[in-house]
Amino acid sequence: MANQAIDQADYSYATGNKIIMQLMSRYFVKAARSRGAPFRKLTNVSAAIAEMGDTARVPVTATTASYLLTDGAQRTLDDTTPTTVDVTLSNDRAISYAETDVAQLLSGGAVAESLFEGRVAGLLNDTEADLMGSFVTSLTTNLGGTYGTAAASTGPTEAVIASLVAQILLQKPPPQPFEAFVDPLTWAYLVQITNFNSGYVRGYLPGEPAPALGVNYGENGRPWHNCYWHLAQSVSGAGGSTIFNAILAPGAVAFAMRGTNSPSYFGSDGYIAEPFADEMAGVAGSIIRAKNFLNFSKEITIRTLYGYSTLKQAWCGGLKA
């Protein structure tokens, strides 16, 4: 049933609201791209529309074996095909708010983007917490470090990091740098390690700029101990005494995000919605907007539908700090 406060005749795509919705979706992508978030490194996104409980099919890197070629021997054909994992989209997260016409008038429309970006940050923070928090129970094979060391400014040390990375490398993952997500206290200790500060943050040559300080700390640095290091405020136990950071090889985990299915895409029930997907930011979702004439406001809901799974446990590492 449509909201009785909605003027259904006026609130449809025919009145130009489609342009507004597309602009809001761009606001979301802009806010997501400005973050040093796990999404852009891990997410499988698609413009496909899904419902709660649907599955997203994510490809898994195939592990194959070679053979020794000897004179006269028959060739061994490798018929291995890439496998897939069906990730259930079991989390439907949303955030809703209203902006009044009076506030919009007084601000000249400037309040819209600031309100929107603040809500996007809250939505992405909670979604990241779901993803990063799952590693506490799922990463059990390769572990390193000691709880409480980041808070005490005594670790994790370079030797601990090198040992943990070596454990993952011994499992022979694809020869690509890993992605490491650490909380602010762990990052604060890392930048005090001389080799990290000179090799990852400042570059290898004297006088080079510090790209890692440009966008959300370690987003644009160089691999250090085979890892790109990222400041992630939502890792498990962030800022506390039992911090659990994550190091992941490409293809080790699956995080799928989709836009939500809704009849509102046609403006038929008094609400209008705009699905979006952006591979660069690693986000997908829907924005739903309605006009409430009882209090002269616009009601906005941002929704993301997602699920996650650990595909290759041996290619992951948990760094305690």
First to last CA, the chain: 51
Q: Is 141 inside a domain boundary?
A: yes
CATH number of the domain to which 176 belongs: 3.90.1690
Mean pLDDT of the residues in the chain: 75
Higher pLDDT, 63 or 312: 312
Q: What are the structure tokens assigned to 185, written together?
A: 């206290």
27-31, 51-55, 174-178, 221-225: lowest mean pLDDT where? 27-31
Q: Is 7 inside a domain boundary?
A: no
- Residue 154 has what pLDDT? 92
Q: Is 81 inside a domain boundary?
A: no
pLDDT tens across 175-218, in order? 888 988 888 899 889 888 888 877 665 544 454 444 444 344 34
E strands within 243-315? Answer: 244-248, 253-260, 272-278, 283-292, 297-310
Higher pLDDT, 161 or 41: 161
Phi, psi of 121 (to 5 degrees): -60, -45
Q: Is 96 inside a domain boundary?
A: yes
Contact 305, 255 (CB under 8 A): no
What's the CA gap between 196 and 221, in Å, rounded?
10
For the chain, how many structural domains are there in total?
A: 1
Q: Is 312 inside a domain boundary?
A: yes
What's the CA gap between 132 and 144, in Å, rounded?
17
Query: Mean pLDDT over residues 291-320, rounded?
Result: 84
Q: Is 267 inside a domain boundary?
A: yes
Count Cβ atoms below 10 Å from residue 138 Cβ, excluding itself: 16
Q: Is 75 inside a domain boundary?
A: no
Q: Which among 16-20, 97-101, 157-161 has the top mean pLDDT?
A: 157-161
- Residue 264 has what pLDDT? 52
What's the CA gap between 214 and 202, in Å, rounded?
11
Q: What domain range is 203 assigned to?
A: 12-59+86-321
Q: Is 64 inside a domain boundary?
A: no
Q: What are the structure tokens assigned to 3, written together?
A: 């909201």
Contact 47, 274 (CB under 8 A): no
- Residue 79 has what pLDDT? 57
pLDDT tens across 125-178, in order? 888 888 887 766 678 889 999 999 999 999 899 999 999 999 999 998 888 889
